[in-house]
Structure formats: C-alpha cells, structure tokens
Amino acid sequence: MSGIGSGYDNSVSTFSPDGRVFQTDYAQKAVDNSGTVVGIRCKDGVVLGAEKLIISKMLVENSNRRTFPVDRHAGVATAGVAADGRSIVSRAMSEANQYKSFYGDPIPGHVLAERLGSYVHVFNLYWYVRPYGVSTLLATYGKEGPQLYLVEPSGTSHRYFGTAVGKGRQGAKNEIEKLKLEEMSCREGIQAVAKILHQVHDEEKGFELELAWICEESGRQFQRVPQQLAEEAEAAAKAALEAEDMDD
C-alpha cells in the first residue's frame, strides 16, 4: 500500500478518500500525453485535425490514421491509445448502423455522442475492466446543422464550438478562442487548424498532419480533406507562422 495512489488506484470500483477514481484520471492522462487533436465548428461545417507524432522513420505514411468516418454524416478523431480508438470507432459505426436500421434515419449527432458517452462510461464502473484511454472528437452534419462533440474517458460528452485534446491542448484552446468561428468557412478552418497544430507542436521531430472535415463542400459527408487542399492549407499555415516569427 505505497505509491501515489495508496492502493486506491488499482480499480475503478473504489473511490479514493478525496473522491477520485484514479483509474479514470489515469485514462485521461493517457489522452493528455497523446498528439494534439483539434476540432472546430465553422459556419458551414466542422474541421478535425490531428498531430501525429512520428513513431518510426520506417512508418508508411497514412498508415496510422486518427480520423475515421462512422457513417456518411458523422466521423471521429481520436486521441490517446490508438487501439482503444479503433474500438470506439467500431462501436460508433455499429450504433449509427443500428439506429438507421431501426428508425430509418441517420443518427443525430447528440444521440450518437450520448450513446458513445454511455458506452465509455460503463468501463468506469467495474473492477474487471479498465477505462478507455481515448478522447473522441465527433463531427456530425444533420438536421441541426454541423456540430462538434467531445467524449472523454470518464464518459462525459459535451458539445463544443471548438476544443482540443492531447499534449498541446492548452495552447491550442487559447488559439481557438481567438478565432471568429461563426464567420469562418471550413476552407479557412483547415488552415487555422493546421496553423494551430504547427504552433503547439514542440518537438524536434516533425509530425504528420491529418485533416478531416464535414461541410457543404464535402457534400455533407465526412471525409479526409482532399490531399491537395490539405497540402495547400499546411503550406499556408507554415508561411503564416514564419511571417509571425519575423515580426517578433
């Protein structure tokens, strides 16, 4: 019974004396150490961006994905344990599929977010499971227009105008707050996201940028931002950052 948790960190079925569930906190830490993932809701859609730290020079480009469609009108970006992320993705896909089979309509964003939250939450209740080490940014485009949600390891789910998770989340959130999201198009949004991710990236090693969006231009379908657009956005973001550095 020694160490930081004094034994209260072994299982999610025991609270610590000051009211914490340490396993849940640790799961959140797994997310906090991951590459930054940013989501913003622009006036015409949602943009998701992920900073993918390069785990090996021999890694084949685009083989470690972080953004995934889960239906035509919905997609996620995950931060944290990648394998846990895939499991969340397949759960989200089957929720979307089941909803469509049962009700004959695409699943609304808030329903999917709520259901994912409930699913994740269950893993914070029993001693024989561990919580998901993943935060999920969910982008949807339905009757209510474009929307962005965040589902955390504890099972909470909230809707955001813009948010960030992972290593650089604090810096990224500060930058997002400065954006005029209600005036910004997704075209401008991908550049803003690219810029933020470059800004908060603080390692010698480079990173791979992954951008996905759902907007009018993508036919209200979730997709990775077309390669050429993504490259242009990244180049413009880098140029803007360099220009700002010159001013300093």
Minimum CB separation of residue 148 from other proteins in Å reads 18
DSSP H or E segment with residue 193: helix 186-200
Query: Are the beta carbons of 46 and 141 closer than 8 angstroms?
Result: yes
Minimum CB separation of residue 223 from other proteins in Å reads 8
Q: Could you say which of 93, 129, 181, 229 contacts other proteins (CB under 8 A)?
A: 93
Minimum CB separation of residue 31 from other proteins in Å reads 23
Binding segment for other proteins (CB under 8 A), chosen from 43-51, 97-105, 158-166, 235-243, is: 97-105
Q: What's the length of the chain?
A: 248
Q: What number of helices (H) and strands (E) belong to the chain?
A: 6, 10
- Token pair for 74: 């919905």
For the segment 173-232, give every residue that binds other proteins (CB under 8 A): 221, 223-224
Q: How many CA atoms lie within 13 A of 135 on its CB side?
A: 31
Q: Could you say which of 38, 70, 116, 237 contacts other proteins (CB under 8 A)?
A: 70
- Token pair for 206: 């480079």
d(CA 42, CA 181): 5
Q: Does 2 bind other proteins (CB under 8 A)?
A: no
d(CA 90, CA 72): 14
Q: How many CB atoms lie within 10 A of CB 160?
A: 17
Q: Does 86 bind other proteins (CB under 8 A)?
A: no
Q: Decide whether 185 or 221 has the Cβ nearer to other proteins.
A: 221
Q: Does 69 bind other proteins (CB under 8 A)?
A: yes
Q: Could you say which of 10, 13, 97, 174 contacts other proteins (CB under 8 A)?
A: 97
Give the single-character DSSP code of 106: P
**Interacting residues toward other proteins by CB under 8 A:** 68-72, 93, 96-97, 100-105, 108, 110-111, 114, 143, 221, 223-224
